[in-house]
């Protein structure tokens, strides 16, 4: 997230991810993974752009609706939501819950940061992201606006993380409202009917960075204020986690982390190549694992943003960073949520999200579907499964499944980015 973003910022249709496989179909899983021949291996990794744009079958009709990964998000009418007998007045299906991320033991939430924050694009992209996320971030300028967005989240069976920075603090201020506890008590009471949807309360975005730009109170005092706000949340909503993302600028061994904070993470994006290299991201990731208290869990600000109108090469860079993040995510059981930044655009602040990067959006759709267990890699192919494990579709030679060169070795990863096969010296010398 960016400090500028912080400072400025009823229909029965369900959006579902529809996987379109570009290179033909099969109804039989590959019997076993096999190493590709050296020629195909060399071709697969010689050019990053061709890797992300597999050549279509010349005999197949061209589908212009596909994105760069051969998949699309389609709006389809859910029959259940059109049945008045089984649909609640707000459009939700009673008893239906947000999608579970069954492929992970610890990660329960995936959704786009700022997807329903007022002042960021339209301020509500819940319906647009519902097919490939189970969580949305909500903020409103009024309680009524928050209530409407919570209603939308329920309609689309999504968890909600509710930003309450503007409940506890004057905007861009580091000191609490004098009546901060009463303000949150009243706010919480007004949205209690949606308590089952609320996954967490988001306390403050990049607090020490914002403080350094505006109020400039001692960091010790700001930490005390954050702790007091979290205490208020725990008093009135005792079962709900409190969350904060810090920026890479404010992250250090000396940084102060409220001891009663539940979820924490940092943002450091590939678009800032000078300050946010892979090595820097890894250093920060290890820092947060060291500094967090045992009860605390990490949240990941996954790349889905560029700071100028993105080029195809920028998309390749973002996808490579996502793949790097997948490797880090696979290394620990301390992560509870993955929240890509950003879905929408805000050009006046040089914020261009996944909506302008179809390959990135497609990659994130695959990642989310992998977390739900809906897609898996089978050999070089990505296959889509139903709840019983039957194959519904196949995308041959999907880039997230095809082995890639890591140094001199050819390595195959699963759809979540975990290494599953390695062929030593299987790649040509650089």
Q: State residue 15's pLDDT score.
A: 27
Cα separation values, 202 from 37, 196, 256, 329, 330, Å: 50, 16, 17, 21, 25
Low-confidence winner among 60-69, 82-91, 163-172, 345-354 (lowest mean pLDDT): 60-69
Mean pLDDT across 122-146: 97
What pLDDT does 8 receive?
33
Percentage of the chain lying above the pLDDT 90 cut: 76
Enter the pTM of the model.
0.81
Mean pLDDT of 286-291: 98
Averaged pLDDT score across all residues of the chain: 83
Fold (topology level) of 3-9+98-388:
TIM Barrel (3.20.20)
pLDDT at 213 over 90: yes
Residue % of the chain over a pLDDT of 70: 77
Report, as an integer, the average pLDDT of 21-29. Answer: 25
Q: C-alpha distances in angstroms, 4 versus 10, 118, 169, 210, 305?
A: 32, 14, 17, 9, 15
| DSSP symbols for 229-276 | HHHHHHHHSTTS-EEEEEEGGG-STT----TT--EEEEE--TTSTTT-
Greater pLDDT, 242 or 34: 242
First vs last C-alpha separation in the chain: 36
- Average pLDDT for residues 9-32, to the nearest whole number? 28
Range scoring the smallest mean pLDDT among 48-57, 66-75, 237-246, 400-409 = 48-57
φ, ψ at 119 (rounded to 5°): 85, 0
Q: Could you tell me the sign of the dihedral formed by the alpha carbons of 245, 246, 248, 254, in that order?
A: negative
Query: Residue 97 has what pLDDT?
Result: 82
Domain boundaries along the sequence of the chain: 3-9+98-388
In this structure, are residues 320 and 91 in contact, taking their beta carbons and an 8 Å threshold? no
Sorting pLDDT into bands at 50, 70 and 90, what band is 248? very high
DSSP string of 173-213, one letter each residue: -SSPPTTHHHHHHHHHHHTGGGTTTEEEEEEEESHHHHHHH
Beta-carbon contacts of 194 under 8 Å, excluding residues fewer than 6 positions away, are 147, 150, 151, 153, 154, 160
Q: How many CA atoms lie within 13 A of 40 on its CB side?
A: 10
Phi, psi of 257 (to 5 degrees): -120, 120
- Count CB atoms within 10 A of the CB of residue 220: 9
Res 147 pLDDT > 90: yes
Give the pLDDT confidence of 60-100 residue by residue, as tens digits. 333 333 333 444 332 222 323 333 334 444 444 445 789 99
pLDDT confidence tier of residue 19, bands split at 50, 70 and 90: very low
Predicted pLDDT at 102: 93
Q: Over the stretch 295-318, which tens digit does the pLDDT of each residue have?
A: 999 999 999 999 999 999 999 999
pLDDT at 387: 86
* pLDDT of amino acid 1: 65
């Amino acid at each position: 997230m960016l400090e500028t973003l912080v400072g400025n910022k009823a229909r029965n249709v369900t959006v579902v991810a529809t996987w379109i496989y570009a290179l033909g179909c099969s109804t039989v899983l590959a019997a076993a993974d096999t190493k590709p021949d050296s020629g195909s291996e060399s071709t697969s990794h010689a050019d990053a752009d061709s890797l992300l744009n597999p050549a279509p079958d010349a005999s197949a009709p061209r589908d212009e609706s596909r994105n760069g990964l051969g998949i699309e998000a389609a709006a389809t009418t859910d029959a259940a939501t059109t049945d008045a007998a089984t649909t609640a007045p707000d459009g939700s299906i009673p008893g239906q819950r947000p999608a579970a991320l069954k492929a992970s033991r610890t990660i329960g939430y995936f959704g786009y940061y700022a997807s329903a924050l007022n002042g960021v694009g339209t301020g509500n992209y819940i319906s647009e992201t519902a097919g490939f996320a189970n969580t949305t971030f909500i903020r409103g300028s009024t309680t009524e606006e928050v209530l409407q967005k919570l209603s939308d989240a329920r309609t689309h069976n999504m968890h909600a993380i509710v930003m309450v920075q503007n409940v506890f603090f004057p905007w861009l201020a580091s000191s609490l409202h004098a009546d901060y506890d009463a303000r949150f008590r009243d706010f919480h009471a007004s949205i209690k009917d949606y308590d089952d949807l609320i996954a967490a309360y988001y306390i403050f975005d990049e607090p020490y960075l914002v403080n350094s730009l505006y109020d400039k109170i001692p960091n010790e005092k700001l930490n005390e204020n954050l702790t007091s706000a979290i205490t208020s949340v725990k008093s009135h909503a005792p079962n709900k986690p409190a969350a904060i993302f810090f920026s890479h600028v404010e992250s250090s061994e000396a940084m102060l982390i409220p001891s009663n904070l539940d979820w924490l993470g940092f943002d450091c994006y590939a678009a800032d190549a000078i300050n946010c290299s892979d090595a820097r991201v890894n250093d920060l990731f290890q820092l947060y694992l060291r500094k967090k208290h045992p009860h605390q869990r990490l949240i990941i600000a996954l790349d889905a943003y560029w700071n100028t109108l993105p080029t195809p090469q920028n998309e390749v860079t973002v996808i490579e960073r996502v793949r790097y993040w997948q490797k880090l995510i696979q290394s620990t059981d301390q992560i509870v949520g993955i929240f890509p930044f950003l879905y929408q655009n805000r050009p006046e602040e040089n914020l261009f999200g996944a909506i302008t990067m179809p390959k990135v959006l497609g990659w994130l759709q695959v990642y989310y579907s992998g977390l739900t267990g809906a897609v898996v890699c089978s050999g070089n192919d990505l296959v889509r499964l139903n709840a019983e494990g039957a194959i519904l579709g196949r995308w041959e030679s999907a880039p997230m499944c095809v082995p890639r060169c890591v140094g001199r070795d050819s390595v195959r990863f699963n759809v979540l980015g975990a290494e599953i096969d390695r062929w030593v010296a299987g790649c040509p010398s650089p």
